[in-house]
């Protein structure tokens, strides 16, 4: 996305999902509701009995389900249901297609991705019905987009709107869900950090209580955990930029027009800026100012998980709110232990090898068993 289209995208997002006021007054409530909906389902068993033995959950999949449902709700004001489940399947085909060999046959991953993408891009499909049923709600960026006129009076075409929405879905879904998953893994490996996070979350409140903006703003150690997770294991390890002029750097010159990869990971792992850089140490953010580390950390140039400059991620606050709410309810409501050994890898993308399978138990029903290794 470039030029006028890029500017229009930023203007639209600033007025919707990238606006702290919109997040505070509208989105936070949905985030709270949808996250609890998924976590509630972990407490239920098909026969209605209590899951004393624990429920096995593939955390990465559950985190993806949460961020997908949140994105669809925020972008299109559509509640989770049959249509969102169908859309998620189509979307996963599309994403698989990005990473497959480009052979356009009906039996190849790439071919199926094209067909799926075409079905979605060919219109809002069943989404129009799901949308119409909820017409009384705010339309979100999708509605604003289709209604918007640019400065020169040209409207977004439906295809442009679909492209734009898909781009937003891609931007927010994988990134946020992976940080959720990895934060939980790091916490499980660092019980002292988990204990402090639980202390910050209190008793989790009454089941009907909803987190509000003041609660979110008071989650200072949570922000330290999120910063540290993003520093260690951001799914976006860097960005490409093109030099618009000759850039002299450390005795070399990057010639004008040259494309360079700016590696966040190289900076985030540099021991000059981060002592014991490979260790998970959320306290480093506490001493760097705790809440000051909320957005850019100790200094914008050495902590840049959301990029920088005119392309700085417009979803940074939304992502933080979603991860904070998720961690709050997870740690205050559940104990968990790894269901299998798993580890974090960084190539070709940052993830855990097995999607981090865990066994969860509601906390008020099952006190932690000190004899079980890794059970918190
Ligand atoms: C932990 C979660 C997230 C991380 C780590 C992340 C990270 C990033 C990074 C590194 C960039 C590139 C910035 C640059 O080029 O300088 C970016 C761009 C972008 N992100 Fe995020 N992001 C996250 C969540 C979200 C969410 C939730 C949304 C919206 C729903 C979003 C929307 C976007 C958009 C639209 C862009 C393109 C901005 C542009 O080109 O001007 N992101 N993000």
Greater confidence (316 vs 301) lies with 316
Q: Is 170 in the pocket of ligand 1 (CB under 6 A)?
A: no
Q: What is the pLDDT of residues 52-70, one digit of tens each?
A: 678 999 999 999 999 999 9
* 313 among annotated binding-site residues: yes
CA of 167 relative to ligand 1 center, distance in Å: 10
Q: Is 306 in the pocket of ligand 1 (CB under 6 A)?
A: yes
Which residues of the chain form CATH 1.10.630.10? 3-77+137-236+269-362
Query: For residue 268, which of 180, 350, 174 has the smallest C-alpha distance?
Result: 350
Percent of the chain with pLDDT over 70: 72
Q: Is 350 in the pocket of ligand 1 (CB under 6 A)?
A: no
The preferred substitution site among 315, 321, 325, 351 for testing ligand 1, maximizing ligand atoms within 8 Å of CB, is: 315
Distance CA 335, CA 321 (A): 22
pLDDT, residue 12, reads 80
Q: What is the pLDDT of residues 321-373, one digit of tens each?
A: 999 999 999 999 999 999 999 999 988 888 899 999 999 999 864 444 455 44
Around Cβ 312, how many Cβ atoms within 10 Å?
14
Q: Is 229 in the pocket of ligand 1 (CB under 6 A)?
A: no
Q: Is 238 in the pocket of ligand 1 (CB under 6 A)?
A: no
Fold of 3-77+137-236+269-362: Cytochrome p450 (1.10.630)
pLDDT tier at 151 (50, 70, 90 boundaries)? Answer: low
CA of 180 relative to ligand 1 center, distance in Å: 16
CA of 67 relative to ligand 1 center, distance in Å: 14
Q: Please, what sign has the CA dihedral across residues 310, 314, 317, 319?
A: negative
Distance CA 198, CA 332 (A): 6
Q: Is 72 in the pocket of ligand 1 (CB under 6 A)?
A: no
Q: What is the mean pLDDT of the chain?
A: 80
Complex ipTM tops 0.95: yes
Q: Please state the length of the chain.
A: 376
Query: For residue 183, which of 344, 318, 349, 366 has the smallest C-alpha distance?
Result: 344
């Amino acid at each position: 996305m470039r030029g006028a289209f890029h500017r229009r995208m930023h203007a639209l997002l600033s007025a919707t999902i990238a606006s702290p006021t919109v997040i505070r007054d509208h989105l936070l409530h949905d985030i709270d509701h949808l996250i609890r909906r998924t976590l509630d389902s972990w407490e239920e068993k098909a026969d209605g009995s209590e899951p004393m033995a624990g429920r096995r959950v593939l955390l990465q999949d559950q985190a993806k389900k949460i961020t997908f449902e949140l994105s669809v709700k925020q972008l299109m004001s559509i509640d989770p249901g049959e249509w969102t489940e169908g859309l998620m399947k189509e979307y996963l085909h599309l994403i698989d297609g990005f990473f497959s060999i480009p052979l356009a046959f009906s039996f190849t991953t790439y071919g199926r991705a094209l067909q799926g993408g075409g079905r979605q891009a060919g219109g809002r499909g069943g989404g129009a019905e799901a949308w119409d049923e909820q017409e009384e709600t705010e339309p979100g960026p999708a509605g604003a987009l289709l209604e918007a006129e640019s400065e020169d009076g040209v409207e977004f075409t439906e295809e442009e709107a679909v492209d734009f929405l898909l781009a937003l879905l891609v931007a927010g879904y994988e990134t946020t869900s992976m940080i959720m998953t990895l934060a939980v893994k790091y916490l499980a490996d660092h019980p002292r950090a988990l204990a402090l996070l639980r202390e910050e979350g209190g008793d989790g409140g009454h089941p009907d209580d909803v987190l509000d903006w003041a609660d979110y703003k008071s989650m200072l150690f949570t922000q330290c955990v999120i910063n540290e997770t993003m520093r260690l294991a951001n799914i976006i390890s860097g960005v490409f930029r093109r030099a618009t002029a000759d850039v002299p750097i450390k005795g070399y010159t990057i010639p004008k027009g040259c494309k360079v990869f700016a590696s966040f990971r190289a900076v985030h792992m540099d021991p000059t800026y981060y002592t014991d850089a490979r260790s998970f140490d959320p306290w480093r953010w506490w001493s760097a100012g705790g809440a000051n580390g909320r957005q850019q950390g100790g200094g914008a140039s050495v902590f840049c998980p959301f990029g920088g400059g005119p392309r700085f991620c417009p979803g940074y606050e939304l992502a933080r709110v979603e991860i904070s709410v998720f961690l709050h309810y997870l740690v205050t409501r559940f104990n968990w232990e790894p269901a299998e050994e798993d580890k974090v890898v960084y190539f070709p993308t940052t993830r855990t090898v097995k999607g981090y399978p865990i066994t969860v138990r509601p906390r008020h029903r099952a006190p932690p068993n000190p004899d079980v290794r890794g059970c918190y």
